[in-house]
């Protein structure tokens, strides 16, 4: 009951606020454009996940509506996308192969598990966790997914035999690598798939290649010369008509056929053993982690751009309800679509109304026009998806990381290779591990410095080069981070080095503790060692610029008894003034006795 009383319940229709009747025509046209984008892409992403095409279209009906009504963002569009479809496919590999009817049941159960996780994150207000995946980790992970999906779409465009039918020496060598490569969406290691793809090029269906490349080029050209026209829909209409007129299916160009049933989605319940819900949990955690981080970053960028507040925790609730609806209506799990959100922004949309219009438009298509969808060529869908995932391959991000911070560039590279070599799910764990390691690495090497008094005595500056102390015997040392297990050794090494290497014997050692707002038990032990070492060498230990938290930690760890209470100073200047006072007027130093 205490938890329920603290829950901040969502405010429905927050994403629809701010529009007037005059805005409705523009928003409605944006909704039709959104439907035109979603139809081909949702079908394509369903195929990426190894699910029936209808599962992608169903995701653009009821899940889209409930998300639009509950989201606090006015701009984020929910929809399956390449990275999420890849993660879904990877999570389902161990349960059912593509084409197996059971695969859809597990996909629906996966959506339900993800919904439950989103609700848990919402109840405990964990939206802040989006801050714990670094830019480098996200860039590497998303780029790896983009490369993998793009490669799979190229294989579909070629319409050549898959790796299992190949018997050449090259493929035999590739088969030998399978034992060391993790699974990807199609249950083969990525590099094995690349070898198979190269080997299959001579046996590619030229008609299929022409259709796929044409779809890719049409979308690219439309984006450049007519950006407001839905290029994906134009490509699909033109190429579907061409395939039908030339009877290209008879020449090996695959089409959807009767894979999309007519009518809206119906209520359905996942029929899998209860124990398998727990087996789906690791994959669901990976999917939720990526959706959480990527989605809330997009939400934040749009809310900052247009000057409104979007509640991150309410977004988690909206994701949960949308995916619960997906699990009970036979649709693919839904997440973020940065590309479609950007398209709606470019179309002038300022609310979630286009999502409602798009859902209505796609419902009409499902009711009256599914016969036409049967002629959609798979190669054209692959070309459209391949074009869409190019935005995931963030070459510019890698260039910037190389220029700005090489360590983060290598982290991004490791994440990218992990996706390709080990698969997306294992790569998620590696990404989180790398984030933690990177944080600990940087925190373990904080900025530290010996401080020298300025000539006018007004302030202290970091010492240059080998200077470690002034000629007076006063050592002021700044430690620029909380003191804990990862950097405690550095602290002790610095104290020993500064004392032993000083040109003039150190008589006072002043710790500038402004940044030391936290001290763990390891840090406390090292601090005790440092104070004891200084006392043995008859060096007075003092503390400057310490806040209440540092003093409280000293009291908790019983370190105050080692420090003279008079040796706490508000600033480094006060400590320097005390150091220069005549011994007779100074407070007796710990460990030293005045002469009688």
Q: What is the pLDDT of residues 137-193, one digit of tens each?
A: 888 988 998 898 899 899 999 987 554 444 344 444 444 444 444 343 343 468 888
In what helix (H) or strand (E) does residue 145 lie, and over which residues does it extend? helix 135-158
> Given a cut of 80, is residue 593 above it in pLDDT?
no
Q: Is 513's pLDDT higher than 50?
A: yes
- For domain 448-580, give its CATH number from 3.30.750.24, 3.30.2290.10, 3.40.50.410, 3.40.50.2300: 3.30.750.24
Closest listed residue to residue 125, CA positions, set 334, 315, 323, 322: 315
Is residue 438 within 8 Å of 135, Cβ to Cβ?
no
For residues 7 and 123, the answer to whether their CB atoms sit within 8 Å is yes
Query: Looking at residue 467, what is its pLDDT?
Result: 53
What average pLDDT does range 214-219 have in this prediction? 94
Average pLDDT over residues 512-525: 95
Structure tokens at 551: 């003093």
- 102-115 average pLDDT score: 97
Convert the pLDDT of each residue in 527-584 to its tens digit. Answer: 999 999 999 999 999 999 999 999 999 999 999 999 999 999 999 999 999 998 866 5
Q: Is the pLDDT of residue 521 over 70?
A: yes
What is the four-CA torsion angle of 474, 480, 485, 489, rounded to 10 degrees?
-40
For the cut 50, the answer to whether the pLDDT of residue 444 exceeds it is: yes
Give me 337's structure tokens. Answer: 């679509």
d(CA 191, CA 175): 10
318-340 pLDDT, tens digit each: 999 999 999 999 999 999 998 88
CB atoms within 10 A of CB 439: 13
| pLDDT (average), residues 299-317 | 88
For residues 176 and 397, give the distance between their C-alpha atoms in angstroms, rounded to a whole number.
Answer: 35
Categorise residue 538: left if φ over 0, alpha if ψ from -120 to 50, beta otherwise: left
| Residue partners of 240: CB distance under 8 A and separation at least 6 | 372, 375, 376, 377, 380
Q: Around 422, how many Cα atoms within 13 Å sit in the side-chain half-sphere?
A: 14
Sorted by where each begins, the domain ranges of the chain are: 29-132+206-384, 448-580
The total of other beta-carbon atoms located within 10 Å of residue 86's CB is 26
pLDDT of res. 524: 96
Please state, as a whole number, how many other Cβ atoms lie within 10 Å of the Cβ of residue 157: 25
- Rounded Cα gap, residues 52 and 44, in angstroms: 10
H-assigned helices in 448-571: 488-501, 521-536, 548-556
Comparing C-alpha atoms, which of 57, 50, 49 is closest to residue 79? 57
Question: Which helix H or strand E contains 569, and what residues bound it?
Answer: strand 568-569
Once rounded to an integer, what is the mean pLDDT over residues 8-29?
A: 88
Which residues are CB-contacts of 6 (< 8 A; sequence separation ≥ 6)?
Answer: none
**Most confident option among 179-183, 210-214, 388-392:** 210-214
Whole-angstrom distance, CA of residue 349 vs CA of residue 35: 14
Rg (CA), the chain: 31
DSSP classification of residue 249 = G
pLDDT in tens, 34-83: 998 899 999 999 999 999 999 999 999 999 999 999 999 999 999 999 88
- Residue ranges of the alpha helices (H) in 226-280? 231-245, 274-279
CB contact set of 226 (below 8 Å; sequence gap of 6+): none
CA dihedral for 288, 293, 295, 296, sign (positive or negative): positive
Report the distance separating Cα 439 and Cα 432, nearest Å: 11
What is d(CA 267, CA 24) in angstroms, rounded to the nearest whole number?
31
Please give the structure tokens belonging to residue 200: 């299959």
User: Locate tokens 């799990």: which residue?
Assistant: 333
Please tell me whether residue 557 adopts helix, strand or coil conformation: coil
- Contact between residue 508 and residue 535 where contact means Cβ atoms under 8 Å apart: no
Check pLDDT > 80 for residue 245: yes
**What is d(CA 585, CA 582) in angstroms, rounded to the nearest whole number?**
6
Distance, in Å, from the CA atom of 274 to the CA atom of 460, rounded to the nearest integer, reads: 66
User: DSSP for 464-483?
Assistant: PTT--S-TTSEEEEEE-S-B
pLDDT at residue 4 in the model: 53
**484 in helix, strand or coil?**
coil
pLDDT of residue 587: 47
Q: Helix, strand, coil shares of the chain as percentages rounded to 5? A: 65, 5, 30
Q: Which of 301 and 471 is assigned the larger pLDDT? A: 301
- Unique residue bearing structure tokens 């609806």: 325
pLDDT at position 403 is 93
Instruction: Report whether pLDDT(594) > 60.
Output: no
Q: Is the pLDDT of residue 132 over 80?
A: no
Residue 101 has pLDDT above 70, yes or no: yes
Max CA distance (Å), the chain: 113
Alpha helices in 329-449 (DSSP H): 338-346, 353-368, 370-373, 378-389, 395-404, 406-422, 424-444
Q: CA torsion angle for 553, 558, 559, 563 (degrees, to 10)?
A: 120
Contact 296, 42 (CB under 8 A): no
* Residue with token string 């009518």: 263
The confidence score (pLDDT) of residue 221 equals 93
3-state secondary structure of 448: strand
3-state secondary structure string, 313-358?
A: HHHHHHHHHHHHHHHHCCCCCCEECHHHHHHHHHCCCCCCHHHHHH
φ and ψ of 224, to 5 deg: -85, -45
363: nearest Cα among 85, 47, 65, 111? 65
Residue 470: the pLDDT is 52
Rounded percentage of the chain residues whose pLDDT exceeds 70:
90
List CB contacts of 471: < 8 A, sequence separation 6 or more: 503, 504
**What is the overall mean pLDDT for the chain?**
86
Q: Is the pLDDT of residue 104 over 80?
A: yes
């Amino acid at each position: 009951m205490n938890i329920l009383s603290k829950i901040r319940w969502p405010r429905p229709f927050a994403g629809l606020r701010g529009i007037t009747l005059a805005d409705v025509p523009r928003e409605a046209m944006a909704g039709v454009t959104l439907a035109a984008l979603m139809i081909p892409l949702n079908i394509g992403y369903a195929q990426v996940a190894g699910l029936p095409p209808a599962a992608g279209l169903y995701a653009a009906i009821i899940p889209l509506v409930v998300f639009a009504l509950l989201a606090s963002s006015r701009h984020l569009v929910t929809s399956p996308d390449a990275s999420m479809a890849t993660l879904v496919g990877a999570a389902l590999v161990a349960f059912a192969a593509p084409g197996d009817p059971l695969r859809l049941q597990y996909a629906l159960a996966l959506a339900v598990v993800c919904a439950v996780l989103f609700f848990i994150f919402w109840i405990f207000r964990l939206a802040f966790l989006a801050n714990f995946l670094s830019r480098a980790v996200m860039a590497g992970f998303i780029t790896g997914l983009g490369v993998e999906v793009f490669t799979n779409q190229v294989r579909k465009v070629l319409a050549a035999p898959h790796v299992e039918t190949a018997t050449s020496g090259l493929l035999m060598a590739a088969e030998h690598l399978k034992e060391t490569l993790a699974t990807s969406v199609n249950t083969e290691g990525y590099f094995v798939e690349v070898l198979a793809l190269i080997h299959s090029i001579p046996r590619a269906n030229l008609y299929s290649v022409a259709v796929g490349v044409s779809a890719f080029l049409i979308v690219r050209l439309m984006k450049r010369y007519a950006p407001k026209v839905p290029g994906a829909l134009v490509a699909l209409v033109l190429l579907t008509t061409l395939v039908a007129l030339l009877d290209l299916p008879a020449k090996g160009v695959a089409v959807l056929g009767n894979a999309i049933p007519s009518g809206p989605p119906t209520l359905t319940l996942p029929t899998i053993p209860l124990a398998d819900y727990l087996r789906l949990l690791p994959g669901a955690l990976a999917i939720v982690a990526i959706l959480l981080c990527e989605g809330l970053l997009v939400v934040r960028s749009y809310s900052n751009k247009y000057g409104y507040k979007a509640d991150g925790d309410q977004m988690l609730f909206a994701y949960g309800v949308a995916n619960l609806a997906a699990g009970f209506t036979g649709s693919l799990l839904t997440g973020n679509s940065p590309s479609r959100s950007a398209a709606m922004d470019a179309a002038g949309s300022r609310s979630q109304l286009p999502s409602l219009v798009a859902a209505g438009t796609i419902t009409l298509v499902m009711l009256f026009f599914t016969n036409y969808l049967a002629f959609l060529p798979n190669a054209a869908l692959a070309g459209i998806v391949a074009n869409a995932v190019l935005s995931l391959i963030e070459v510019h991000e890698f260039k910037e990381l190389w220029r700005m911070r090489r360590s983060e560039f290598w982290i991004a590279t490791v994440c990218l290779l992990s996706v390709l070599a080990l698969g997306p799910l294992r790569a998620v764990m590696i990404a989180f591990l790398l984030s933690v390691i990177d944080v600990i690495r940087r925190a373990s090497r904080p900025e530290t410095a010996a401080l020298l008094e300025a000539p006018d005595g007004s302030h202290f500056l970091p010492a240059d080069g080998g200077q470690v102390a002034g000629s007076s015997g006063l050592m002021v040392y700044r430690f620029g981070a909380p003191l804990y297990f990862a950097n405690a050794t550095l602290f002790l090494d610095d104290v020993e080095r500064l004392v032993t290497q000083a040109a003039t014997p150190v008589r006072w050692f002043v710790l500038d503790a402004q940044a030391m707002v936290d001290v763990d038990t390891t840090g406390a032990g090292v601090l005790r060692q440092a104070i004891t070492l200084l006392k043995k060498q008859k060096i007075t230990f003092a503390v400057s610029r310490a806040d209440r938290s540092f003093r409280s930690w000293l009291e908790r760890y019983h370190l105050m008894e080692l420090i003279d209470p008079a040796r706490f100073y508000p600033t480094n200047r006060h400590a320097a003034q005390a150091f220069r006072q005549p011994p007779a007027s100074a407070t007796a130093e710990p460990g030293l006795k005045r002469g009688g």
